Chain A
Amino acid sequence: MKSILAALALTSALVAPGLAMARPVTLTATLNNYGGDGAYLALYVTDADGAYAGTVWMAGGKSKYYEHLSDWYRATGGDPAQIDGITGASVGAGRSLEITLDLADALFDAGYTLHVDAAVEDMRDSPNEVAVPLTTAGAGQPVPGRRYVASLRYDM
C-alpha cells in the first residue's frame, strides 16, 4: 500500500481549468497475481476528444522501459517533464497502489477519462489496461482492468 499526497504538481492541463477549485481524490489500483515482476503503470487523463490532458502518476522509475506503456508514450513522447515529481516505484503482482492527490473539479463530469497503461517485464504490454470516465457518480465504483489490474477505483 502506498499513500502519497501529491501536491498540485500535475501538468498545467489538469490544474489550469480551475486552480482554486480542487479536491483531494484517492486513486486505488489493485493488481492481479499475474505471476511476473513488478508492473509499470502510467495513470493519465484524456479529454472529451480523446486527446492527452496530463499524467496523474507514473509507477516505475526507469525511463528506458516507458516505451512499453505505449499509449502514454505515444501521447507524451516519453517527456520526463510530464512525470516530474509524480513518479514512484513499480507495483508488485497482487499489491495495491494508492495515491491521494488534488484533482481539479473541472475534470469531473466533463468527459475526461482516466487511463492506466501497464507493462511487465517479459510479459505482454497492456496499453489502455483500464479506461474509466471521471464522474462524481462513478466515485467509489471499482472498475476491472484487462490483464494486470484487478480493480481501479477513485474516491472523493
Chain B
Amino acid sequence: MTRALHRWPGLLALVLVMILAVSGAALSVFPAAERLSTPQTETDLTVAELAGRIQAAYPGVEQIRRAPSGRITAFWFDEGTPGAAVIDPATGQGISSADPDPVRRWLTNLHRSLFLGDAGRIAMAIGAAAMLVLSISGAMLVARRMGGWRRWFAPLRGPLSSRVHTGIARVAVIGLTLSSATALWMAASTFDLLPDDPAPPAFPAEVSGLTGAALATMEPLAALPVSELRELSFPYPGDATDAFTLKTDRGTGYLDQGTGELLAWAELTGWERVSETVYMLHTGQGAATIGLVLGVMALGAPAMGATGLALFIAGLRARPRIRGNRPAKRAGTILLVGSEGGSTWGFAATLHKALTAVGHHVHVAPMSAFDPARYPRAERFIVLAATWGEGQAPATARGFIDRLAALESVPEAPLAVLGFGDRSFPAFCAFAEEVTRLAAAKGWAELMPFDTVDRQSPQDFARWGRALGLALGIELVLEHLPVPPATERLTLVSRRDYGADVQAPTAILRFSLPQASLLQRLAGRGFARFRAGDLLGILPEGSDLPRLYSLASGRRDGFVEIVVRKQPGGLCSGQLLTLEPGQAIRAFVRHNPAFHPGAGKAPLILIGAGTGIGPLAGFIRGNKGRRPVHLIFGLRHPDSDFLYREELAGWQADGRLARLVTAISRGTKPRYVQHALRAESAELTRLIRDGARIMVCGGRDMAAGVAEALTDILAPAGLSPLALKAEGRYAEDVY
C-alpha cells in the first residue's frame, strides 16, 4: 500500500514535481542574494528618522516599504512622474531600481502556475500534493527498508539506483515535506480557502482636519524601529481628510497627518500570522538561510525522480508479463511470489497459465502485497518463495512474515508453499521453510506438503505440478523453461593458463567488450555497466541453465575477465577451458551490488583462495584512489597457480595494493588462508577497528574457515563477522 502510494504519485506527477523542484531551488537563491546586497540599517534607526530622510530626498514620497530581507523601497511622484527606488537607509537616497527582477518573476510564475493562470496554479498545487504524498510514503518506505525509524541513517545496501534514491531521500525528505506542505497552504490561501485575508481597521470616520505634522513629532513613528516596519503610506497631498497608513509586523493602523495620533489600529489575526510564517518558510523571504537549505534539498527531487523511474523500470523488467491476471477480489487461487532477482516470477507465470487453462481464476501478486482481507473468494493459496542471503526474505516478500505473524486468524483456504533455491547454499529454501513453519504454527491448513525446486530445475517444478494437480483433482502439466536472459556474444581475446601441475587447471579468460547500444548505455543495461564483483552468466552449449562467474573486471577496464577452474565433469567449465582466442560464448551480466567494495577511504581486507581472487584482483586494479588494500590469497603452489602474479607485483609497486599475504597449501609447510589470518591477527584487528571492510571470495569451505578464524581473532576486541555483516562491512561471494 505504501509502495503504491509512493509509486503512482511519483510516476503521474513526475514532470510537475521536477519543474517545481528545479524552479524552487533556483528561486531559493534570490532571498539570500537580496539579503547580501541590501545596505544595512542602523539598529536604532526609527521609522520617523528614516521617513524624514526619504522625504528630504524625495519630497513627493507616497509610500515606503520594507521587505523581510531588510530592503527598503520608496515610491514617489515628482511633478506628476512616478518614481521608485531601493533606498540606502543611511542617506534616504535611492541606490538602485525598484523594478522586479524579470528572471525572478519568470521563475516565480513558472513555479506557481506554469504561466497558465489559475489552471496552472491548480496543476502546481496537485504537483505539490503529489510531492507531499511522495515524501510521507517515501519516509515510511525508508524506515521499513532500514529496519525502523531509529536506523534512519544506517548503511545502505542494494542496487546503485536504489542506494542513490534512498541516500538522497533520507536527507531531502525533510525539506521536501516542508516545502510541499507550505506550498499547499499557500495555494489554499490564494484560492481563498483559508480565513487569512488581511483585515485592516476601518478608516477613521473623523480626522483632525489638520495637516503638516513633522514626521519626527509623530509618536507612533518615532517609537517604531525600522526593523518592525512593513509599509508606510503618506496621505494624498492637499487632502486633509486622508491619513498616514502604517503596517508593521504586528498590525495595521492609521495616523492623523495633523497630530500624529494613532486613529485606528488592528492587530494581525492568528490566521494571518500563520500564513506569514508559512510564506516565510516556503519562500525564504525573511529566512534566507532556511530558503537556501530548502533549495538544496529540492535539488534532490530530480535525482530521485530519475533513480525512482529507473527502479520502477527495473522492477517491471524483472517480472514477466502475466496475461489475464485476475483481480484479487475475484480470484479463487491466490498465487504469491517471493522473488529476489525475478526468476521465480517466471515459474509463477507458467503456473498461472496452466491453472488458467483449466478454468481457474488466478491472481498473481508479490508476497509483500499479502492481505487476507483482499481475497473474499480465495479457495487456495500458493506461495512460491525464493530465499535471499542467509534465509532472509527476498525482495518481493518483505514484510510477509511479520504480517502473517500478526494475523489474528489465518485464511480458511488451504496453503501450499514451494521453495526455490540452490542446494549448494546452507540456507537452502530457508525463507520458504520459515513461511511453512509459521503458517503451520498459526493453524493454516495445508493444501499439499512443502516442496522445493533446486536451481530452477524444470523437473522439480513439473513433479510438484503433478502433485498439485492431484490435490486439486485436475491434470496439471507444468513445463517451465526459465526465461532465457538476453545474452550477447563475447569473443575470447586471450587466456592465461595455470595450475596444470597441481591438478587444478585454471585459466584467466579475457573477452572483448561487446558494443553497447545507445539505449543500453542510457539504461545501464547489459554490458553497458558492470563492475568487478558483478556476475557473468554463461550459457554453455547444450544447456539453458546459466552458470555464474564473478567478474574480475569492470566496464572501465575495457574488457570482460573471469577466472575459471575446470570442474570434474563440468559442462560449462569444460567448454570454457577449451576455448581459443577468436572463439565466442553467449553471456550476460547479472549485477551483484552486495559484493562491490564501495566508495570510501577505509581500508579494504580482501580474502580469497583459488579462482576467488578474480573479483578481488578486479577491485585492486580499479583502486585508482590508492585506498589501503590488504590481500590475503590462498593458492596451492607459487610456481603453478599464482594467479595474477605479475599484476599483483605491479599494483603493489604503484600503491594500488598495500600488502599481499599468500598462504600456500602445498609444500613443506602447508598453510591455508585461515592460518594466514591467525598469523596476522593483530594487524587485522587494528585495521578493522579503523573501519576496514572485509570481502571474502572463494569456495564454501574456505569461507566458513575464514569466518571461524575471524570470529576467534575479533572476539577479544568485542567484534564478530556477524556484527560486521550487519554494518555492511563483511561481504562474501561464495560458490
Measured between beta carbons, the chain B residues less than 8 angstroms from A128 are: 236
**B192 contacts A64, C-beta separation under 8 Å:** yes
Measured between beta carbons, the chain A residues less than 8 angstroms from B80 are: 146
Measured between beta carbons, the chain A residues less than 8 angstroms from B99 are: 35-36, 123
Q: Cβ of B685 < 8 Å from any Cβ of A?
A: no
The 6 A-B residue pairs with the shortest CB-CB distance, nearest first, are: A124-B75, A147-B82, A122-B100, A74-B203, A64-B197, A67-B198
* Interface residues in chain B, defined as those with a beta carbon under 8 Å from any beta carbon in chain A: 62-63, 75, 77, 80, 82, 84, 98-100, 102, 105, 109, 117-118, 189-192, 196-198, 200, 202-203, 233, 236, 245
Closest beta carbon of chain B to A152's beta carbon, Å: 16
Measured between beta carbons, the chain B residues less than 8 angstroms from A37 are: 105, 109
Most buried by B among A78, A124, A126, A146: A124
**Assembly CA distance A64 to B200 (angstroms):** 11
Closest beta carbon of chain B to A63's beta carbon, Å: 6
**A146 contacts B192, C-beta separation under 8 Å:** no
Measured between beta carbons, the chain A residues less than 8 angstroms from B233 are: 70, 125
Measured between beta carbons, the chain A residues less than 8 angstroms from B202 are: 77
| Chain A residue at smallest Cβ distance from B62 | A124
Query: Assuming A37-B109, A89-B117, A125-B63, is B192 touching A63 (CB within 8 A)?
Result: yes
**B82 contacts A124, C-beta separation under 8 Å:** yes
Interface residues of chain A: helix, strand, loop or mixed (majority)? loop
Measured between beta carbons, the chain B residues less than 8 angstroms from A74 are: 203
**B197 contacts A70, C-beta separation under 8 Å:** no
Measured between beta carbons, the chain B residues less than 8 angstroms from A124 are: 62-63, 75, 82, 84, 98
30 contacting pairs across A/B (C-beta < 8 A): A35-B100, A35-B102, A36-B105, A37-B105, A37-B109, A61-B118, A62-B190, A62-B191, A63-B197, A64-B192, A64-B196, A64-B197, A64-B198, A67-B198, A67-B200, A73-B200, A74-B203, A77-B202, A78-B197, A121-B100, A122-B100, A123-B84, A123-B98, A123-B99, A123-B100, A124-B84, A125-B63, A126-B82, A146-B82, A147-B82
| Chain A residue at smallest Cβ distance from B104 | A122
| Chain B residue at smallest Cβ distance from A144 | B80
A75-119 residues with Cβ-Cβ distance < 8 A to B are: 77-78, 89
Closest beta carbon of chain A to B231's beta carbon, Å: 9
* Interface residues in chain A, defined as those with a beta carbon under 8 Å from any beta carbon in chain B: 35-37, 61-64, 67, 70, 73-74, 77-78, 89, 121-126, 128, 146-147
Query: Assuming A64-B190, A124-B82, is B100 touching A36 (CB within 8 A)?
Result: yes
**Assembly CA distance A101 to B341 (angstroms):** 71
**Assembly CA distance A128 to B191 (angstroms):** 27
**Assembly CA distance A62 to B112 (angstroms):** 15
| Chain A residue at smallest Cβ distance from B99 | A35
Measured between beta carbons, the chain B residues less than 8 angstroms from A35 are: 99-100, 102
**Assembly CA distance A36 to B98 (angstroms):** 11
**Assembly CA distance A63 to B193 (angstroms):** 11
**Assembly CA distance A35 to B105 (angstroms):** 10
**Assembly CA distance A63 to B202 (angstroms):** 17
Closest beta carbon of chain A to B267's beta carbon, Å: 16
Closest beta carbon of chain A to B85's beta carbon, Å: 11
Measured between beta carbons, the chain A residues less than 8 angstroms from B192 are: 62-64
Most buried by B among A62, A122, A126, A128: A122
Measured between beta carbons, the chain B residues less than 8 angstroms from A36 are: 99-100, 105
**Assembly CA distance A67 to B203 (angstroms):** 12
Measured between beta carbons, the chain A residues less than 8 angstroms from B198 are: 64, 67
**Assembly CA distance A121 to B245 (angstroms):** 19
| Chain B residue at smallest Cβ distance from A122 | B100
**Assembly CA distance A36 to B62 (angstroms):** 20
**Assembly CA distance A36 to B100 (angstroms):** 7
Measured between beta carbons, the chain B residues less than 8 angstroms from A89 are: 117
Closest beta carbon of chain A to B73's beta carbon, Å: 8
| Chain B residue at smallest Cβ distance from A75 | B203
Closest beta carbon of chain B to A138's beta carbon, Å: 20
| Chain B residue at smallest Cβ distance from A38 | B117
Measured between beta carbons, the chain A residues less than 8 angstroms from B102 are: 35
Closest beta carbon of chain B to A94's beta carbon, Å: 14
Given contacts A124-B62, A128-B236, 7 further A-B contacts (CB under 8 A): A35-B99, A35-B100, A64-B190, A64-B192, A123-B84, A123-B99, A124-B82
